[in-house]
Amino acid sequence: MRFETYIPTEQLKPFVKAYAVIESQGEITNRVLPGTSFALAFRIRGQISYLNDNNKTVLPTVAFSGLKKSVRLINYAPHSAAIIVLFKETGASVFFKQPLHELFEQSISLDNFFSSLEISLVEERLAESESLASKITVVEEFLFSKIIHHNPDKLVSEAIAKIYSAKGNIRIKELANDLYISQDAFEKRFRKRTGATPKQFSYIVKMNAVIRQSKIDTPLLDVAFENGYYDQPHFNKDFKIFTGQAPTDFFKSASFW
């Protein structure tokens, strides 16, 4: 399997973290852990599916995925490939008018947001482009044409920075107070920009921090206590929802990104 990342052009850097290119020679299943980025996947070859209880759900040619609190198992058929746009935390809101929080735990076809004709034209251009660089250019030109506004919300950006600094262990009411805004108004603004509530977003940040800490030789119970858990069973339950595996099994065998 080939996995490479590419940096966006300067015009799109404020909104896009990177482009991930995945190519599979044989059949492979990726374990994709929840993150704080919306993802827009352009399938350029083969077939890509979600796996759920051994059932396959074929993804559309261009799929837009919201944030999730649980792992995704993505199956690549032999000789499949995709370009995945990984947005920055508030980046996707620049391109879409629709309420992005409605996509939490969802992956849907991009033609729910833009016309089928537009999507078909992008698909045709991707098929006609021979090099990977030219395909990424097609994707970038499409994104650039869809920018609605560029009005950064400094309050939400500051909230995100505080959540990361606290590794997700933060009380939302206290966070809102620190930002001198009511909790209700804060949650609405945060959800509009990130596609998740502050609590959901903090949970994703916390669990990713747990996984990074656990790669170091630290007892899992200590990691659980350091991240706000009062007992091992509660920690194990959240960990299994997030990764699809118990902690011991995950660190023994998991291959993920």
Higher-pLDDT residue of 2, 76:
76
What 3-state DSSP class applies to 66?
Answer: coil
CATH 2.60.120.10 domain span(s) along the chain: 2-145
Alpha-carbon span 64 to 84, nearest angstrom: 10
Q: What integer is the mean pLDDT of 121-132?
A: 94
Q: Tokens 């909790």 correspond to what residue?
A: 183
pLDDT > 90? residue 21: yes
Higher-pLDDT residue of 248, 171:
171
* CATH architecture type of domain 2-145: Sandwich (2.60)
What 3-state DSSP class applies to 124?
Answer: helix
What are the angstrom distances between the C-alpha of 155 and each of 83, 166, 177, 205?
Answer: 32, 17, 12, 18
Query: Which residues are paired to 82 by β-bridges?
Result: 22, 43
At 127-165, the pLDDT tens digits run 999 999 999 999 999 999 999 988 889 999 999 999 999
CATH 1.10.10.60 domain span(s) along the chain: 154-253
At 62-99, the pLDDT tens digits run 999 999 999 999 999 999 999 999 999 999 999 998 88
- Look at residue 162 in the predicted model and tell me its pLDDT: 97
Alpha-carbon span 121 to 117, nearest angstrom: 6
* CATH architecture type of domain 154-253: Orthogonal Bundle (1.10)
Percentage of the chain lying above the pLDDT 90 cut: 69
Report the Cα 12 to chain-centroid distance in Å: 17
